[in-house]
Amino acid sequence: MNNTVSIVLCTYNGARYIEQQLDSIIAQTYPIHEIIVQDDGSTDDTWTILERYARNYSVIRLFRNEGRHGVNGNFLSAMRRATGSFIAVSDQDDIWEPHKIAEQMRAIGPNMMCSCHSRPFSSDGSFAHFDSRPRNTSIFRMMFLALPGHTLLFRRELLGELPPDNHPIFRHSIYDAALCITAAAHDSIVFLDSVLVNFRRHADAATYKDFHRSLPSWRNALNALVWGMGHYRSTRRLVLPLYGARFELMNQIQSAAPDFLKARLIMYLETRRDPVSFIRLQYHFVRVAPKLFQVCGDGFLVRLRAALYPILQLYMYK
């Protein structure tokens, strides 16, 4: 069995931290087939640093884009350069634990994808909260909140199931959403309850947001509900193209898994504007409530939260 692993690392103006991440990748206990590093037109010293590392480590393959491709364009094209049987995605400013790839390769088994905990840290005072709860990887969760791309290790065949780069999903979501929805549609994600990535949070990061008002608490949940009710119409107009892109992606996935078929119906209802569809959406959220949230479970409060989820979730797009 071919168990070669390609690391895909995309860079843009990452000179400040890139050496620490490259060192942590090179120090992996699992033998790395190749490290594909693709730069998106950095204007700092990133490329000079990458060339120095490539001279010292033959496992590194360097590529440089002509013009800016953006996060999705850079990562999608870089991942397609991979020749290993498995692909692990890396951000430019994190630090991996030495056994990250080894543990994920042991855990993935026949599944399409493996994820793990990433523990945020900050050296500039940026928001960095660590949620230690194991992740819910059901399709009902993944179609709304994907696993972070920098934690993913997946089979290269998964790329073949993604739509073309010009698909609407890539205009409205980061690449990790498409990967996670596709793998979850086949119920083929395993999550390792271990911290294997140290996730640097800093204000210059492409994905940095301050989520302190979204931490799990009844006060924040009430705040989200009030905000969602007050901004329902305007926020729905903003997110309808996103829901439409997700539904279009799910329509192209070849899976007959019962949960996936229910999830696709839910996403279809998310694209509708009429009151009857809203009520049907609430009904189906309540039915799948035990698999919808970060912590799987059932009970009256979970079902009530599920009924309110069409409004609560809008706070994510504030």
85 and 156 part of one domain:
yes
Is-contact 9 25, C-beta < 8 A? yes
157 and 31 part of one domain:
yes
Q: Is the pLDDT of residue 74 over 50?
A: yes
Q: Is the pLDDT of residue 297 over 90?
A: no
Q: What percent of the chain has pLDDT over 90?
A: 85
Is-contact 217 226, C-beta < 8 A? no
288 and 184 part of one domain:
no
How many domains would you assign to the chain? 2
143 and 245 part of one domain:
no
CA 130: distance to chain centroid?
16
Is 269 exposed, middle or buried, given 0-12, 13-18 or 19+ CB atoms closer than 10 A? Answer: buried
Does any domain span residue 250?
A: yes
Across 261-270, average pLDDT: 98
Does any domain span residue 244?
A: yes
Determine the pLDDT at residue 220.
82
Return d(Cα 57, Cα 49) in angstroms, integer: 12
Q: What is the pLDDT of residues 180-195, one digit of tens each?
A: 999 999 999 999 999 9
**Residue 71: pLDDT band with limits 50, 70, 90:** very high
- Which pTM was predicted? 0.92
Determine the pLDDT at residue 53.
98
Q: What is the pLDDT of residues 206-246, one digit of tens each?
A: 453 444 445 556 788 889 999 999 999 999 999 999 999 99
Of 156, 177, 200, which closes a domain? Answer: 200
53 and 150 part of one domain:
yes
Return d(Cα 187, Cα 288) in angstroms, integer: 15
Determine the pLDDT at residue 31.
97
Q: What is the pLDDT of residues 19-57, one digit of tens each?
A: 999 999 999 999 999 999 999 999 999 999 999 999 999
Does any domain span residue 205?
A: no
Q: Is the pLDDT of residue 318 over 90?
A: no
Does any domain span residue 111?
A: yes
Q: Is the pLDDT of residue 205 over 60?
A: no
175 and 227 part of one domain:
no
Give the chain's mean pLDDT.
93
User: Residue 187 carries which DSSP code?
Assistant: T
18 and 116 part of one domain:
yes
83 and 15 part of one domain:
yes
Determine the pLDDT at residue 208.
39
**Residue 202: pLDDT band with limits 50, 70, 90:** low
Range of the domain at 254: 212-317
